[in-house]
Amino acid sequence: MCGIFAISGTDDQAGQKVLAGLKKLEYRGYDSWGIALKYREKNEVIIKKEVGKISNIDQEFPPAQEAFGHSRWATHGGVTKENAHPHKFGKVTLVHNGIFENYLEEKKLFTEKFLSETDSEVIAALLDKNIAEICTQKQCIFPLLAGEGEGEVDQEFAKKIIFDAIVKTVEKIEGRFAILVFVDGVDGIFAARRGSPLILGRGKNETFIASDIPAFLKYTNVVNYLDDDEMVWVHQGEAVYQNMKSREIIQKRDIEVPWKEEQAEKGDFPHFMIKEIFEQKDTIARAINHDDEELLKAAKLLENCNGAYIVACGTAHKVAMVAEYYFARISGRKVNVVPASEMPDFERFINEKTAVIAISQSGETADVMEVLERSKKKSAKILALTNVESSSMARLADVHLAINAGPEKAVASTKAATSQMALAFLLAYADAEIRGISKINVGREILRSTAGIINDNLNPRYEEHIREIARKLFPEEKLFIIGRGTLYPMALEAAIKIQEVSYIPALAFAAGELKHGPIALIENGTPCIVLGSDLETISNATELKSRGARIIGVATKNDEVFDEWIRVADCDGAQAIASVIPVQILAYHLAIFRGLDPDMPRNLAKSVTVK
């Protein structure tokens, strides 16, 4: 949630660079935006902020060497200019990602008038108050912070005071946060995090701080990761890290990320969503590019466990549901799939003999992270499947497997979801090999064949056929989807995609459950998408059609019950992967016909780092 980007450098283009970087992070929040520029010579910070998307903003900023900005997804306070970040309180200018859960309690301690309704402004107020109190204790004058009368700020002394004030401030915060801070009269940018991601990009004479890597890929692919309960001060090419609990200075390792700038751009495609759908030609093959030793190491976490849980949210939860079928069918293992937000009721069963598998694109999803943190305290074994190798989940896990999908910027997940399914499929075969049931290479060959089939299917003619079906469906005000076996969770996922980007109320059901209630919703002409063409599913489709439904079949073969047919090839046990892709394309074109932006659906953001 929310995009944060900052630069401290040596040229005067900090404002323009932050504007460009925020545009690359707009998928994380697009209710409002703001940028703060620091003028050392004038000892002031200038703030520009507005309601609405930043993507179409073309604005010149005054020269500045340090700046930070924020693209907001509203949580506390409505979408107004006053609630947009950055917030200025006293000497402190701040942007914030996360939720300060107990902010109302702390806000009562202030007699000053707040300009916004946000929890974030309260953090700025607390920090400003703590700086003043520490200065009083140390008998120093702010902003000079040392000595009396006119003179230069003692920057080293100032840095220590602000680090102390940050520690004192975050002790009051219940919840997850990432903050960036300017303090009047003090060089550099201060940052701290707990639970919400912050990543540093390291240049020769400049340093970037962002909530996601694409913001600075144009300038560097060398990164440092700020871990939980750590803070940092950056100025030009310098960075000083401290642990907020021990107060120890930390040395960070430079890491080169394999992503390239062009991977995070639309190229010739009109939207990121359709670009990322077509990238599945390659990403599924990359997802299975793990050697057997890595996969067997991951599967061995399950070998001696007395129970296994897969936890995830949203689309990743539907992937987890598919994985439950994979393990049951391929390795004969029962795993329990629970949405991360519902996991607290089941945590009594977690102990040192439990395996917890987390699935997440970002590796930062708040609900999942909290489950993993609590499970780790109970000595459970953690396996993470994420798209970011140095994400919080990856670093917390005993074993991490990267899905290798590359940057995914559309809010609606497409290529990450199929990559997660492919890796879960291969993991089930690794488990089967350990149990003497099958071999990893059997699963690998099925997935290679599936990737080849998808490569053949994703062509302009195929897309145009689906686009024509979308043209007929887009005026509809409701839509139903059914599936059986692994295609049942894919029906649920298809409904999510259509809901997210076209706003059509799409409902999904297990095909065999229709007659137990949902069929009462069917009227003459109601569109129903049917995933699969096995005899039982066709029988269910026939039941729908007899009540007047209009049937759109997504299946390996046509059937007379289908009014429209979208062909998918037979992919053996990986049918779920192949079957969801045409519905992704359908959802995209439904959004386009309805005049919507499929990359940035209303009320949603890409990486949910708050509860």
Query: How far, in Å, are 10, 40, 97, 221 from residue 44 at the CA level?
Result: 18, 7, 24, 32
H-type helices in 6-75, by residue range? 14-24
Tokens of 558: 């046509």
Cα–Cα nearest to 214, from 373, 59, 365, 5: 5
Of 38, 415, 497, 606, which residue is the catalytic one?
606
- Pair 283, 406: CB distance under 8 Å: yes
d(CA 300, CA 319): 21
Cα–Cα nearest to 199, from 232, 235, 160: 232
- 281 catalytic? Reply is no
Q: Cα 417 vs. chain centroid, distance in angstroms?
A: 12
Of 2, 135, 305, 571, which residue is the catalytic one?
2
- 53 catalytic? Reply is no
d(CA 601, CA 501): 6
Could you count the other beta carbons within 10 Å of the beta carbon of residue 580?
30
The residue written with tokens 């049937």 in the block is 551
Tokens of 336: 């329990």
d(CA 238, CA 230): 16
d(CA 176, CA 78): 20
Tell me the backbone φ, ψ of residue 422, rounded to 5 degrees.
-65, -40
H-type helices in 474-607, by residue range? 487-502, 535-546, 575-593
CB < 8 Å & 24+ apart, contacts of 459-466: 462/582, 462/585, 463/585, 465/566, 466/566, 466/582, 466/585, 466/586, 466/589
**Cβ within 8 Å of residue 117, ≥6 positions away:** 76, 77, 78, 80, 82, 83
Cα–Cα nearest to 238, from 142, 165, 155, 135: 155
- Pair 111, 125: CB distance under 8 Å: no
Tokens of 130: 């703590």
Q: Helix 460-473 and helix 575-593: axis angle, to 10°?
A: 60
Which residues are catalytically annotated?
A: 2, 606
